[in-house]
Amino acid sequence: AQTVTQSQPEMSVQEAETVTLSCTYDTSESDYYLFWYKQPPSRQMILVIRQEAYKQQNATENRFSVNFQKAAKSFSLKISDSQLGDAAMYFCAYRPGGDADGLTFGKGTHLIIQP
Amino acid sequence: EAQVTQNPRYLITVTGKKLTVTCSQNMNHEYMSWYRQDPGLGLRQIYYSMNVEVTDKGDVPEGYKVSRKEKRNFPLILESPSPNQTSLYFCASRGHPAGSQYFGPGTRLTVL
Protein backbone atom coordinates (compact mmCIF):
# COMPACT_ATOMS: atom_id res chain seq x y z
CA ALA A 1 0.00 0.00 0.00
CA GLN A 2 1.15 3.49 -0.75
CA THR A 3 1.98 5.85 2.06
CA VAL A 4 2.60 9.58 2.11
CA THR A 5 4.55 11.17 4.95
CA GLN A 6 4.73 14.84 5.86
CA SER A 7 7.23 15.10 8.67
CA GLN A 8 6.57 18.75 9.58
CA PRO A 9 3.27 19.17 11.46
CA GLU A 10 3.80 22.93 11.53
CA MET A 11 6.03 25.47 9.83
CA SER A 12 6.39 29.21 10.31
CA VAL A 13 7.83 31.75 7.88
CA GLN A 14 8.12 35.51 7.70
CA GLU A 15 6.06 37.26 5.08
CA ALA A 16 8.01 37.64 1.80
CA GLU A 17 10.42 34.86 2.74
CA THR A 18 10.71 31.42 1.16
CA VAL A 19 9.59 28.20 2.83
CA THR A 20 9.87 24.55 1.84
CA LEU A 21 7.41 21.88 2.92
CA SER A 22 8.59 18.27 2.86
CA CYS A 23 6.84 15.17 1.60
CA THR A 24 8.02 11.63 1.06
CA TYR A 25 6.04 8.74 -0.34
CA ASP A 26 6.38 5.05 -0.75
CA THR A 27 5.21 3.16 -3.82
CA SER A 28 6.25 0.31 -6.07
CA GLU A 29 4.45 1.85 -9.05
CA SER A 30 6.34 3.53 -11.89
CA ASP A 31 3.37 5.54 -13.17
CA TYR A 32 1.83 7.95 -10.70
CA TYR A 33 0.95 11.54 -9.94
CA LEU A 34 1.78 13.76 -7.00
CA PHE A 35 -0.15 16.77 -5.80
CA TRP A 36 -0.06 19.53 -3.25
CA TYR A 37 -3.38 20.78 -1.94
CA LYS A 38 -4.00 23.83 0.22
CA GLN A 39 -6.74 23.89 2.84
CA PRO A 40 -7.34 27.39 4.27
CA PRO A 41 -9.60 28.02 7.27
CA SER A 42 -12.62 27.88 4.92
CA ARG A 43 -11.83 24.12 4.66
CA GLN A 44 -11.96 24.18 0.87
CA MET A 45 -9.38 21.84 -0.73
CA ILE A 46 -7.53 23.81 -3.39
CA LEU A 47 -5.15 22.25 -5.88
CA VAL A 48 -1.80 24.06 -5.75
CA ILE A 49 0.41 22.06 -8.06
CA ARG A 50 0.81 18.62 -9.63
CA GLN A 51 3.68 16.53 -10.92
CA GLU A 52 3.62 13.56 -13.25
CA ALA A 53 6.18 10.90 -12.28
CA TYR A 54 7.36 10.45 -15.86
CA LYS A 55 8.33 14.11 -16.15
CA GLN A 56 11.83 14.99 -15.03
CA GLN A 57 11.17 18.71 -15.03
CA ASN A 58 9.90 20.09 -11.76
CA ALA A 59 6.46 21.69 -11.92
CA THR A 60 6.07 25.41 -11.28
CA GLU A 61 2.96 27.54 -10.73
CA ASN A 62 3.78 31.18 -10.13
CA ARG A 63 5.29 31.39 -6.60
CA PHE A 64 4.90 27.65 -6.03
CA SER A 65 7.39 25.09 -7.24
CA VAL A 66 8.27 21.52 -6.40
CA ASN A 67 11.47 19.58 -6.02
CA PHE A 68 10.65 16.10 -7.29
CA GLN A 69 13.31 13.51 -6.52
CA LYS A 70 11.94 10.27 -7.94
CA ALA A 71 14.71 7.96 -6.77
CA ALA A 72 14.47 9.33 -3.25
CA LYS A 73 10.66 9.37 -3.41
CA SER A 74 10.62 12.94 -2.26
CA PHE A 75 8.26 15.72 -3.35
CA SER A 76 8.79 19.03 -1.56
CA LEU A 77 6.87 22.25 -2.11
CA LYS A 78 8.63 25.60 -2.19
CA ILE A 79 6.65 28.77 -1.66
CA SER A 80 8.50 31.91 -2.64
CA ASP A 81 7.65 35.44 -1.50
CA SER A 82 5.25 34.10 1.15
CA GLN A 83 2.03 36.05 1.55
CA LEU A 84 -0.46 36.19 4.40
CA GLY A 85 -2.99 34.41 2.17
CA ASP A 86 -0.68 31.40 1.98
CA ALA A 87 -1.45 30.55 5.60
CA ALA A 88 -3.22 27.18 5.52
CA MET A 89 -2.85 23.44 5.92
CA TYR A 90 -0.92 21.91 3.05
CA PHE A 91 -1.45 18.31 2.05
CA CYS A 92 0.75 16.19 -0.15
CA ALA A 93 -1.13 13.52 -2.10
CA TYR A 94 -0.32 10.56 -4.31
CA ARG A 95 -2.36 8.81 -6.96
CA PRO A 96 -1.31 5.82 -9.08
CA GLY A 97 -1.64 6.03 -12.84
CA GLY A 98 -4.39 4.52 -14.97
CA ASP A 99 -7.98 4.31 -13.84
CA ALA A 100 -7.15 4.24 -10.13
CA ASP A 101 -8.96 7.16 -8.54
CA GLY A 102 -8.08 7.28 -4.88
CA LEU A 103 -5.75 9.92 -3.57
CA THR A 104 -3.54 8.95 -0.64
CA PHE A 105 -2.93 12.01 1.51
CA GLY A 106 -0.28 12.91 4.02
CA LYS A 107 -1.32 14.20 7.44
CA GLY A 108 -0.65 17.79 6.46
CA THR A 109 1.61 20.69 7.41
CA HIS A 110 0.16 23.76 9.07
CA LEU A 111 1.86 26.81 7.54
CA ILE A 112 1.92 30.01 9.57
CA ILE A 113 2.88 33.29 7.94
CA GLN A 114 4.36 35.87 10.32
CA PRO A 115 3.68 39.48 9.25
CA GLU B 1 -17.75 28.89 -13.68
CA ALA B 2 -16.32 25.37 -13.49
CA GLN B 3 -17.11 23.95 -10.09
CA VAL B 4 -18.12 21.09 -7.86
CA THR B 5 -21.07 21.87 -5.61
CA GLN B 6 -22.28 20.07 -2.52
CA ASN B 7 -25.48 20.39 -0.54
CA PRO B 8 -26.09 20.86 2.27
CA ARG B 9 -22.93 22.54 3.52
CA TYR B 10 -23.83 21.89 7.15
CA LEU B 11 -26.09 19.23 8.58
CA ILE B 12 -26.93 18.13 12.09
CA THR B 13 -29.01 14.99 12.35
CA VAL B 14 -29.80 12.14 14.71
CA THR B 15 -28.75 8.53 14.70
CA GLY B 16 -30.69 6.40 12.24
CA LYS B 17 -32.31 9.15 10.20
CA LYS B 18 -31.53 8.58 6.53
CA LEU B 19 -29.83 11.44 4.74
CA THR B 20 -28.40 12.28 1.34
CA VAL B 21 -25.60 14.69 0.52
CA THR B 22 -25.72 15.81 -3.07
CA CYS B 23 -22.74 16.47 -5.32
CA SER B 24 -22.85 18.00 -8.77
CA GLN B 25 -20.15 19.05 -11.23
CA ASN B 26 -20.50 21.14 -14.37
CA MET B 27 -17.24 20.15 -16.04
CA ASN B 28 -18.49 16.98 -17.79
CA HIS B 29 -16.03 14.98 -15.70
CA GLU B 30 -16.14 11.21 -15.85
CA TYR B 31 -14.57 10.48 -12.48
CA MET B 32 -16.26 11.44 -9.22
CA SER B 33 -15.54 10.45 -5.65
CA TRP B 34 -16.33 11.04 -2.00
CA TYR B 35 -13.84 11.56 0.83
CA ARG B 36 -14.18 12.11 4.52
CA GLN B 37 -11.75 14.12 6.60
CA ASP B 38 -11.20 13.39 10.28
CA PRO B 39 -8.68 14.84 12.74
CA GLY B 40 -5.62 12.64 12.98
CA LEU B 41 -6.79 10.39 10.16
CA GLY B 42 -6.62 12.81 7.25
CA LEU B 43 -8.68 12.39 4.09
CA ARG B 44 -9.87 8.96 3.12
CA GLN B 45 -11.81 7.89 0.06
CA ILE B 46 -15.28 6.43 0.61
CA TYR B 47 -16.51 5.59 -2.91
CA TYR B 48 -15.67 6.56 -6.43
CA SER B 49 -17.23 6.33 -9.88
CA MET B 50 -15.51 6.14 -13.24
CA ASN B 51 -18.65 6.76 -15.25
CA VAL B 52 -22.43 6.54 -15.19
CA GLU B 53 -23.61 3.35 -13.48
CA VAL B 54 -20.00 2.42 -12.56
CA THR B 55 -19.09 2.76 -8.88
CA ASP B 56 -16.54 1.12 -6.63
CA LYS B 57 -15.51 1.11 -3.00
CA GLY B 58 -12.75 3.25 -1.65
CA ASP B 59 -10.94 2.78 1.64
CA VAL B 60 -13.83 3.35 4.06
CA PRO B 61 -17.14 2.41 2.35
CA GLU B 62 -18.95 0.85 5.33
CA GLY B 63 -22.18 2.64 6.18
CA TYR B 64 -22.40 4.56 2.91
CA LYS B 65 -24.09 4.13 -0.45
CA VAL B 66 -23.68 6.00 -3.71
CA SER B 67 -25.30 6.08 -7.11
CA ARG B 68 -24.32 7.54 -10.48
CA LYS B 69 -27.38 7.79 -12.66
CA GLU B 70 -26.26 10.96 -14.41
CA LYS B 71 -22.75 12.04 -15.31
CA ARG B 72 -22.93 15.30 -13.39
CA ASN B 73 -24.37 13.98 -10.09
CA PHE B 74 -22.94 11.65 -7.47
CA PRO B 75 -25.00 11.64 -4.25
CA LEU B 76 -23.75 10.13 -0.99
CA ILE B 77 -26.38 8.28 1.00
CA LEU B 78 -26.25 7.41 4.69
CA GLU B 79 -29.17 5.06 5.26
CA SER B 80 -28.73 4.81 9.03
CA PRO B 81 -26.20 7.40 10.20
CA SER B 82 -24.24 6.81 13.38
CA PRO B 83 -22.15 9.20 15.50
CA ASN B 84 -18.90 7.78 14.08
CA GLN B 85 -19.93 9.21 10.71
CA THR B 86 -19.64 12.72 12.08
CA SER B 87 -17.06 14.20 9.75
CA LEU B 88 -16.24 16.68 7.02
CA TYR B 89 -17.19 15.24 3.64
CA PHE B 90 -15.78 16.22 0.28
CA CYS B 91 -16.90 15.39 -3.20
CA ALA B 92 -14.29 15.52 -5.97
CA SER B 93 -14.23 15.10 -9.72
CA ARG B 94 -11.70 14.79 -12.54
CA GLY B 95 -12.04 14.62 -16.26
CA HIS B 96 -9.75 11.82 -17.44
CA PRO B 97 -7.23 9.28 -16.14
CA ALA B 98 -4.40 11.81 -16.06
CA GLY B 99 -6.53 14.62 -14.68
CA SER B 100 -6.35 16.29 -11.28
CA GLN B 101 -9.11 15.99 -8.70
CA TYR B 102 -11.08 19.15 -7.99
CA PHE B 103 -12.92 19.29 -4.71
CA GLY B 104 -16.26 20.67 -3.67
CA PRO B 105 -16.54 23.05 -0.69
CA GLY B 106 -17.22 20.30 1.85
CA THR B 107 -20.20 19.25 3.97
CA ARG B 108 -19.89 19.32 7.73
CA LEU B 109 -22.05 16.48 9.10
CA THR B 110 -22.82 15.96 12.78
CA VAL B 111 -24.70 12.86 13.86
CA LEU B 112 -26.06 13.03 17.40
- Convert the pLDDT of each residue in A47-74 to its tens digit: 999 999 999 899 999 999 999 999 999 9
* CA distances, A109 to each of A10, A23, B80 (Å): 5, 10, 34
Kindly list the residues from chain A whose CB atom is less than 8 angstroms away from the CB atom of residue B59: 102
Whether residue B33 contacts residue A102, with contact meaning beta carbons closer than 8 Å, is answered with: yes
Q: Is the dihedral of CA B55, B90, A1, A90 positive or negative?
A: positive
| pLDDT by position in tens, chain B (length 112) | 889 999 999 999 999 999 999 999 999 999 999 999 999 888 999 999 999 999 999 999 999 999 999 999 999 999 999 999 999 999 999 988 888 999 999 999 999 9
Burial of B93 (0-12, 13-18, 19+ CB in 10 A): buried
Determine the 3-state secondary structure of A84 from DSSP: helix
CA distance B1 to chain A (A): 15
CA distance B110 to chain A (A): 16
Please spell the DSSP secondary structure of B58-93, one letter per residue.
-S--TT-EE--SSTTB--EEESS--GGG-EEEEEEE
Chain-chain contact of A101 with B88 (C-beta, under 8 angstroms): no
B79 CB contacts (<8 Å, ≥6 apart)? Answer: B18, B65
From the list B58, B94, B103, which residue is nearest A45 (CB)? B103
pLDDT tens string A29-45: 999 999 999 999 999 99
Closest CA to B11 of B88, B82, B76: B88
If you count residue pairs, one on A and one on B, with CB atoms under 8 Å apart, how many are there? 56
Contacting B with CB below 8 Å, chain A residues are 33, 35, 37, 42-47, 50, 52, 91, 95, 97-99, 101-103, 105-108
Residue to mutate among A103, A104, A109, A110, with most B CBs inside 10 A, is A103
From the list B48, B90, B98, which residue is nearest A101 (CB)? B48
Chain-chain contact of B100 with A50 (C-beta, under 8 angstroms): yes
